[in-house]
Amino acid sequence: MIYKIVQGNRFKLHVLVRKMDVSKEFQRLIDFDMNLATDIKVELHGCFCDTVSVPIQVAGIQGNILICDIPPTLELGNYNIKVSWKYEGSEMVSIERNLLRIVDHNSLSNIPVGIVEGEHTGLFDLRYYIVTDNQSTCPISFIVHNAKFSYTINGETQLVENQENFMLNGAISNGKKLEAEIMPIQGFSIGMVKVLMNGKDVTEEYYNSDTHKIIIPAVSGYVTITASGTVNASYYGASSAKDMSELNMEDLTLLEDALVGKTLTIETTDEKPYIWFVSRQPLIFQQCGFEASMNTTKLGDLYYYWSDELVAGDDNEYQIKLKE
């Protein structure tokens, strides 16, 4: 038995849904986006074959959380939970035995803290946590990729720097102010930022896209903040490399911005007679109003452009545009 709740309490059961991704070579659990599902039902099955359907809403950054409103009218006894839905025409179901027991007094109650693992499963895996409307503390999660951030929780400020991938779980007192600031790291700008509270998207209300600050005056539920940096670093300069096999990126100048719309003048020398550009966007180059001929290739998500051998000079001006 996982949860033992005194009869008469209303609470919200959060069900985290994961799917077993199976192939010939491996298997792994991945978050399952319930926004893609239809006919979602959550039912509690009592020990006397009683079935109670509970209202649900889909929440979470990945859409993998079902928030179930458990009524205070459940009879005493044990309950299994059945989660069912349809996905691409197929019926899906996961059943957890003895998830919940409704008891008649406090000495029999037990509510584990944090996320609780369910039974081992074949196709789907369920995890759980409980939130009450009068909770004294609220869980908070930061999920940050390619950015750094500072946050103030319960009056204490912390700075997390230079993170490629980072997840922080904590708690904040109910009704307290939460402040956070998302900051770019070298070669990145701030891309997507999303703020959820109790599964509701409150990004527009609490996030300032100009300052990249998040201010929630009074936290009233589970908060998830997701942010990611968008790569916008570009490179340009003269090099001795006449092709990709000889290129040393350290010879080039790092520009923490896109090249599109820029006009750049690059000096060549006898030792470095080739001009190079590296971008995450496809580009065209113009000189004196005419399109310049450039060698090009793409490796991964980077576009590489380089000139033929040029004479030494400081008058190599390029107008750079996005290639449509």
Assess whether pLDDT exceeds 90 at residue 285.
yes
Assess whether pLDDT exceeds 80 at residue 48.
no
Q: How far apart (Å, rounded) are the C-alpha atoms in residues 305 and 277?
A: 5
Q: DSSP label at 245?
A: G
Do 262 and 282 meet the contact criterion of CB atoms below 8 Å apart? Answer: no
Average pLDDT over the chain, rounded to whole?
85
The structure tokens listed for 315 are: 């008058």
Report pLDDT digits (tens) over 183-209: 877 556 787 888 988 777 899 999 998
Please state the three-class secondary structure of 268-310 as a single string. Answer: ECCCCCEEEEEECCCEEEEECCEECCCEEEEECCEEEEECCCC
The secondary element (H helix, E strand) that includes residue 56 is strand 56-59
Higher pLDDT, 171 or 127: 127
Report pLDDT digits (tens) over 115-149: 788 887 667 888 888 876 555 677 787 888 777 77
Assess whether pLDDT exceeds 80 at residue 83.
yes
Q: DSSP label at 222?
A: -
pLDDT of residue 126: 86
Closest Cα to residue 145, out of 172, 166, 126? Answer: 166
pLDDT of residue 300: 67
CA dihedral 118, 194, 279, 261 (to 10 degrees): 170
**What's the average model confidence in pLDDT over 296-312?**
89
pLDDT of residue 133: 58
Assess whether pLDDT exceeds 70 at residue 75.
yes
pLDDT bin (cut points 50, 70, 90) of residue 16 is confident
Q: How far apart (Å, rounded) are the C-alpha atoms in residues 247 and 250?
A: 9
pLDDT of residue 166: 62
**What's the average model confidence in pLDDT over 55-67?**
81
User: For 212, what's the count of Cα atoms within 13 Å in the CB-facing half-sphere?
Assistant: 18
Report pLDDT digits (tens) over 248-269: 888 999 887 789 999 999 999 9
pLDDT of residue 116: 82
Q: How far apart (Å, rounded) are the C-alpha atoms in residues 182 and 209?
A: 10
Distant-in-sequence, close-in-space partners of 195: CB < 8 Å, separation ≥ 6: 201, 202, 203, 206, 207, 214, 216, 223, 224, 225
Do 13 and 128 meet the contact criterion of CB atoms below 8 Å apart? Answer: yes
Assess whether pLDDT exceeds 70 at residue 23.
no
| pTM (predicted TM-score) | 0.49
Distant-in-sequence, close-in-space partners of 290: CB < 8 Å, separation ≥ 6: none
pLDDT of residue 2: 79
Do 212 and 183 meet the contact criterion of CB atoms below 8 Å apart? Answer: yes
Instruction: Please give the domain boundaries of the chain with CATH numbers for all domains.
Output: 3-131 (2.60.40), 137-231 (2.60.40), 234-322 (no CATH)
Higher pLDDT, 166 or 48: 48
pLDDT of residue 63: 78
Angle at 290 between CA 285 and CA 295, to 5 degrees: 40
Higher pLDDT, 102 or 64: 102
**What's the average model confidence in pLDDT over 230-245?**
86
